[in-house]
Amino acid sequence: MVNVDIDTSAAVLALGLAKELPDYPKLTGVPAPKPLHDFDIDTARPRPYRPFRWEYHQNMSLSELEPNWWIELESTYRTRIAQRKKLYAEHGKVIVDELTGSREASRECMEMRYPNQFRYNDWTGVFTNEILHTQVDIATVHPLMFLLDNVPEDFFIVQEDPLTGLYRLTAAVGCSAVGWNISQKIGKPLMKFTEKMALSMDRYDPFFSKVACNKPIQRGSWGLEVGELHFVQANSPEWHNRNPLFTPIADFRREPYIPRLLLKVLREGKKSIMEYKGSWHTEHKAIPALEEWAREQEEKGWVPSDWKERTLDEHPFYPGWKDHYPIHD
């Protein structure tokens, strides 16, 4: 017998680190979100995002992304995940699709902020979802399916086409699109929606090449819809995700200034923009309710009667919103 003294520490260390996720904060320069150790998914409420502006122009309305709030979970988590999985089961690649070369970019989103709800084992590579009581080996699961099964938000990857230099959609998980679907956009150059929007984004394609990795951005949009989650058929990667936040319009009743501000937009917003948003099918219900709530708020002294509608200083929220929505830092 030959006794060979082998130092296995390096091999064991390498095996263990093989399952470890990359240090994305170090790679990107974007701070990691602050962990929420006392987070309760059953009572959590989303921040009251109200991106109403006046005067209202159709532009990208870009602002700096807050890493702590990139992925925001709340009490409808279980319902949303179930709805999204059902949509995928019914519509397949119209909901989730990818092009060759986008897989590695997809893996960059397999991290979260909630240590008590989600755990990742660096040794085994197993991700545990304590809310849904599921486990998955991230080495074997498709990154987009991982997102569909665990994150109640839409994700889109755009990459530069080496032949044309234009940015195109190369991978996506999209369950809340209205008026379009993934199959209509996958592999195609991004559209320039309007001349004004194209100018605000520096002709859109150059915009993506100029966005610094360590300075992520966000934008907000809104629409009035009937119901909740629904689906309407009709090289240097850039990650985009969309958080569809569904808010009962009745919540606006207790939110100072919001009814009057939204009324102004619905009544006097540019016709082409309102048609694009498709608000016509809800205005017959929304406008009378908003009128009533605006009067109530004036009578209660919440809003001065001579207030001139404008974008609020607290945009995209409203005065006193933290009293209604206790939040974590």
Q: For residue 201, what pLDDT is reported? A: 42
Q: What are phi and psi of 283, to 5 degrees?
A: -65, -30
Low-confidence ranges of the chain (pLDDT < 70): 1-19, 56-61, 100-112, 177-179, 190-209, 227-244, 326-329
Look at residue 60 in the predicted model and tell me its pLDDT. 55
Q: From CA 175, how far away is CA 91, in angstroms rounded?
A: 10
- At residue 135, the pLDDT reads 94
pLDDT given at position 58: 52
Angle of helix 77-91 versus helix 143-150 axis, rounded to 10: 130
Neighbours of 120 (CB within 10 A): 17
Query: To which H or E segment does residue 117 belong?
Result: none
How far apart CA 299 and CA 264 sit, in angstroms, is 19
73: closest CA among 38, 37, 47, 95? 47
Interhelix angle for 258-268 vs 280-299, to 10°?
A: 140
State how beta strands 96-98 and 217-219 pair. Answer: unpaired
Average pLDDT, the chain: 76
Residue-level pLDDT at 5:
32
Amino acid at 59: N
Amino acid at 200: S
H helices within 203-270, ranges in order?
205-210, 258-268
User: Across the beta sheet with 126-129, what order do the strands follow?
Assistant: 118-120, 126-129, 134-137
Contact 296, 250 (CB under 8 A): no
What distance in Å separates the CA atoms of residue 182 and residue 224, rounded to the nearest whole number?
Answer: 22
